[in-house]
Structure 1
Amino acid sequence: MTMENILSLPVKPPQPAQSQRWLGWLLRHREASLSAVLLVIVLGTSLVHPNFLSAQSIKDIILNVSIIALLTVGLTVVMLMRHIDLSIGSTLGLSAFLVGDLFSRFPHVPVAAAIAIGVLIGLLAGAVNGLLVTWGRVPSLVATLSTLYIFRGIDYAWVGGREINATVLPENFAVLGSGSFLGLPYMAMIAFGLLLLLAYYLKNFRGGREFYAIGSNHEGARLAGINVAYREFSGFLLCGAIAGLAGVLWLARFGSVNASSGNGIELQVVAAAVVGSVSIAGGSGSVLGAALGALLLAVIASALVILHVSGFWQLAIQGALILLAITGDTLLSRMLARQTVRRNNHV
């Protein structure tokens, strides 16, 4: 065979190594590893205490995780853009008390109107955060840490030592927190429905994909024609609206609220998102993974209770899972990047 014939032969690109294919699959399907860990914990705990898988226990876990999962889904949108919203707990508390106060003053307010008011409160809070970040150019960590205390201060000023209890809530509103359909709680149905809608939007609509583009490369997204300020503002609006809705569900679930309702819940939400493989560097993650992270932490908390382990270990385990998630994400990304560079150099 002549040299010309040899040079004319098609060059077959090198196939990725087995380890590279495995790493690539793991990075793209991190929800599978979360599901596996969740299954191990559930089976292990049920072997020690069979009542862990009782119908009532499963219902309690679903109810406990619904609000956290809902907040985590909203926070995921913001984190995809390499931002953070620490004010969601204060927004939840403010929404819960204001809607409860509305019912105490006007008992015949339609439930749909009360839900709309709660969402509107969240929208206003999200608009404040969005304006501070997009127009004021304040880093989201600083902006939302400030509004965390501002919204909580407004809540304390409005409450003034009062407390809303379940006796002032209409029965058709309280059923949102305790009722179920075919054994599935209404709260879980609401959270799951929003999760599916948002997951579909992020995957199939241009606006959803723009959240990922901004988090991956802020300047590149701007040069590509994306209205970055508008998209960031809309992300904070969405996160705030979901927090306002979560406040309404919090009121329906627990019945009584005061100025400290939702205090510190933002830390649980951030932990759930990070454990659910939502990257703090932006541009990576999914609402399904975030919801699985919230479910994993809820199952661990319930397992610790049923195993009679001190509640202080829950915080330690959450911290360890955050470190493990961040470390694993960083190591896998670096390994895949090195292998990609080596393959490109070979080509």
Structure 2
Amino acid sequence: MTTQTLKAEKPSLWFTLAASRESGIVVFIVLLVILVSLRSGSAFLSFDNFRDILLNISILAIVALGQTMVIITRGIDLSVSSMIGLVAMMVAFTIKANPELSPVLAVGLGMALGAVLGSFNGLLITVGKVPPIIATLGTLSIYRGAVFMYSQGTWINAFELPQPFKLLSKGTPLGLPNLVIFALVVAAIIYYFLNYTRLGRDIYAVGSNPAAAEVAGIRVQRIIFMVYLLSGLLSGLAGVLWASRFESAQTNTALGFELQTVAASVVGGVNIFGGSGTVTGVLLGAFLLGIINNALTLVRISPFWQLAAQGLLILLAVVVDSLILRRVQRTLTVRKTA
């Protein structure tokens, strides 16, 4: 065995970075917390503040987990914000007309509506052969237009919603806000699904190499349809929770939210080119975005910089993924020729 072979087999910094993306995010979060606490004082480190951060990112985490499965299969769902808005409006109108309706049924209704909307996206992409970015960009506008048509431009306000529905996201039965519990339960289910089921493994296989997955007997188009359905289902859940938490449904509900879900996913280590990503990374990515937005507010920096920070993080994550992929491919080539 030659010295060159030994060097080729030694794990490089890039392999270490690729294998410990979540660790890097944790380090970055710790450094950010220290810097912000030095600037803003004890207010940032208070229990109430971190509770607010968790509340603010709970819905984001739920939708980002759906977005993650789409991105792993080399797709993207830009319509999540409009699905949230449409489901929130339809469920709020239903609750207003039927105040005795159980919050559990409201959640089921919202998830069913979201699944239908997500299925339409999936059909456009798998049957219609429309590129994901074009298909979901189109439905983003269609679903948002449907919000205006359904509501006739009117809003549902807090006094029109029954108290049990409002408490759906505000109760604290286990010492944690219901919103946080919803997010943790969804994260646990998606974690198990992706790591311990055949369908979950098929999602990664399709994203890594669609052609090879097809040869291996995986029904690629069915998997792609499924991830868009799941993205819609989770967006539907988010729509119900959004209406409950903010005690209203408006025509601009969740407007622009799709950027945040993509940011949470790719910053959390989901490869924008498909094939890799973890639930833990997505949760950390959402938490990082929550800390940044909270910190900018505490230090009285314009909210417009929040969007700039999200865009910068997306670009940085994509660049890192590209560099890692290039380095990995180069290292593998060296190993084969050594």
- TM-score category of the 2 structures, normalised to the smaller one: over 0.9
| 1:20 is the counterpart of 2:11 | yes
The residue aligned with 2:331 is 339
- Which stretches of structure 1, 4 residues or more, deviate above 4 A after TM superposition? 10-19
Contact in 1 for aligned 2:9/2:335 (Cα 8 Å): no
| 1:84 is the counterpart of 2:69 | no
Separation in 2 of the partners of 1:318 and 1:259? Answer: 24
Contact in 1 for aligned 2:118/2:230 (Cα 8 Å): yes
TM-score, normalised on structure 1? Answer: 0.93
Superimposed CA distance per residue, residues 141-165 of structure 1 (whole angstroms, 9 cap, x where no aligned partner): 1111111111111110011121111
Report the aligned-residue RMSD.
1.8
Secondary structure of 1:297's aligned partner: helix
Structure with larger Rg: 1
Contact in 2 for aligned 1:68/1:269 (Cα 8 Å): yes
Range with bigger deviation, 38-47 or 146-155: 38-47
| 1:272 is the counterpart of 2:264 | yes
> Unpaired segments of 5 or more residues in structure 1?
1-9
Please list, as runs of the form range in 1=range in 2, the aligned pairs for 1:137-156 lying within 5 A after superposition. 137-156=129-148
Q: Identity over aligned residues, as a percent?
A: 41
Shift of 1:324: 1.2
The residue aligned with 2:21 is 30
| 1:43 is the counterpart of 2:34 | yes
Separation in 1 of the partners of 2:210 and 2:330? Answer: 23
Range with bigger deviation, 120-129 or 53-62: 53-62
Separation in 2 of the partners of 1:91 and 1:328? Answer: 31
Separation in 2 of the partners of 1:33 and 1:207? Answer: 29
Range with bigger deviation, 161-170 or 233-242: 161-170
Separation in 1 of the partners of 2:166 and 2:121? Answer: 31
| 1:212 is the counterpart of 2:209 | no
Separation in 1 of the partners of 2:310 and 2:185? Answer: 27
Superimposed CA distance per residue, residues 76-118 of structure 1 (whole angstroms, 9 cap, x where no aligned partner): 0011100111111010001111111011111101111111110
Q: How many equivalent residue pairs?
A: 337
Equivalent residue letter for 1:35 = V
The residue aligned with 2:61 is 69
Shift of 1:56: 1.4
Please list, as runs of the form range in 1=range in 2, the aligned pairs for 1:1-347 lying within 5 A after superposition. 14-15=5-6, 20-48=11-39, 49-346=41-338
Separation in 2 of the partners of 1:47 and 1:17? Answer: 44
Shift of 1:301: 0.7
Range with bigger deviation, 307-316 or 175-184: 175-184
Equivalent residue letter for 1:260 = N
Separation in 1 of the partners of 2:7 and 2:126? Answer: 42
Equivalent residue letter for 2:237 = L
